[in-house]
Amino acid sequence: MGESLHQDLLDAGGLGAALEARCPDAEIEMYPGAGLFDGFGAKVRQGDRGVRIQPLRGEDRCSISYSLRGHSMHHVYRTVFAEIIDSAATWLGGATPEEFAQAWPFAGFVDVAAAFESGDRIELAWQHFRLSGPFELGAFVEAAMREPRLRRMCPFTSMWWMSFRPTADEYLVPGPWVRSAHNGRYTVVVNRREEPTIDHDAETAVRLVLAEMDRIGVPGPDEIDSYHVAPAYRATEQRRKLDGGDRSATCYPDRRALGYAVEFRWRDERIAYGWAPDPAGATGAAEDWVGGVSPRELARTWPFADFVAAGEAFERGDLLEYEWLQARAHARYGVRELVEAAMREPRLRRWYPVVGINALRFWADWHVVRKGPIVTSVGDGRYKIHGEHGDELGQGDVDHVLRVCLAEVSPEEPPSP
């Protein structure tokens, strides 16, 4: 379509008229904007495809986003009116990603579309970052994609930084973080509040990221189990909740490969999650639990729902033992070894444990009348200890930390809650 005809359409009725002429079967929604096309943008939908044309304020160009089933494949910035309108018409007209890339190389997203169709959310994230190269991270992304360990993890960005999750839904990540230092150089830090003093090329930055992951104990995908990843909540209509007296259970499909999630609650306390291999197993375990079977009976029938020790401690009202068992189940990263060691110390076992991403705090009681020391993992099996009032008490390995904690807590048993 000639540029003069495009201009005639634009002059005759603006962006809306041009889209109606080139995309006659599409649903077109105009909205106020700023910039090109007399201050209007457009959302255009046809079947399961969409295009959004967004003029940029104070600039002579548009952002164009091409989507499939509500997911943006890619967005580009263009100034030529013919490319804006005709690329939208090509995509909405049903062109395959390969055909679209051949017609409009500036917007090719073949690998993104393939990852989207496969349902592999981690690969989809990688392909999006490879295509867009956000925050000048393009060269680093390319290098990271060649590293098998990182390629199996999920990349994400926060502000101008990139980091990696063991799974697509694991949000409590201690780092490391990577940021562009411009001109193909990158900085790597664990604490983003610390100003980096050295930068690296992309390959070196990847090696440093791996070394820092080993140092601070970031787990790989195979080291994450159902205790350490919360289920992915889906739409309300996909959930089924069963109630029975002081018990309830909720079943819903989990979008990771863990299966069908079941949340078991007892007296308003979330006792555990379990992942059934199929919907029938999830429903069966939920019905048995709500029906009143004991934790031990439930685990015998449904092995995926094994929370016997914690369930029995909760049933007999031993809140302290219950909290320790839950702390051991949910301890992450560098504090797992610490929690297990503290459980073997009778005096520490009388304090309530509170676990964070990479920290363990001791409370004298559940109402926080008196706090004990807090221990934070600093990597390499070492920990930093702070006292009740925040004063630093030193650093060391697990044995050293336990000796310091024992010296800090009272030899008498803490008051009951």
Neighbours of 167 (CB within 10 A): 21
* pLDDT recorded at residue 411: 60
Residue 225: per-residue pLDDT = 60
Write the pLDDT tens digit of every residue in 74-90.
Answer: 999 988 888 999 999 99
Put simply, whether the predicted model's pTM sits higher than 0.75 gets the answer no
pLDDT score of 382:
84
Please classify residue 22 by burial: count the beta carbons closer than 10 Å to its beta carbon, then call 0-12 exposed, 13-18 middle and 19+ buried.
buried
How distant, in Å, are the alpha carbons of 107, 133, 221, 252 from that of 255? 29, 26, 15, 9
Phi, then psi, of 364 in degrees rounded to 5: -70, -30
pLDDT of residue 102: 95
State the Cα angle at 189 between 186 and 190, rounded to 5°: 150
Kindly report the backbone phi and psi dihedral angles of residue 184, in degrees, each rounded to the nearest multiple of 5, phi listed first: 75, 15
By the 8 A CB rule, do 137 and 129 touch? yes
Task: Report residues of the chain scoring pLDDT below 50.
Answer: 1-2, 4-6, 8-12, 415, 417
Alpha helix positions (H), 36-145: 36-39, 81-92, 97-103, 110-118, 121-132, 138-145
Tokens 């109606």 correspond to 20
Q: What is the reported pLDDT for 79? A: 86
187-229 confidence digits (pLDDT tens):
999 878 778 889 999 999 999 999 988 887 777 777 666 555 6
Distance between CA atoms of residues 186 and 189, nearest Å: 10
Nearest 5°: CA angle at 384, between 379 and 390?
Answer: 145
- Alpha carbon distance 10, 80 (integer Å): 12
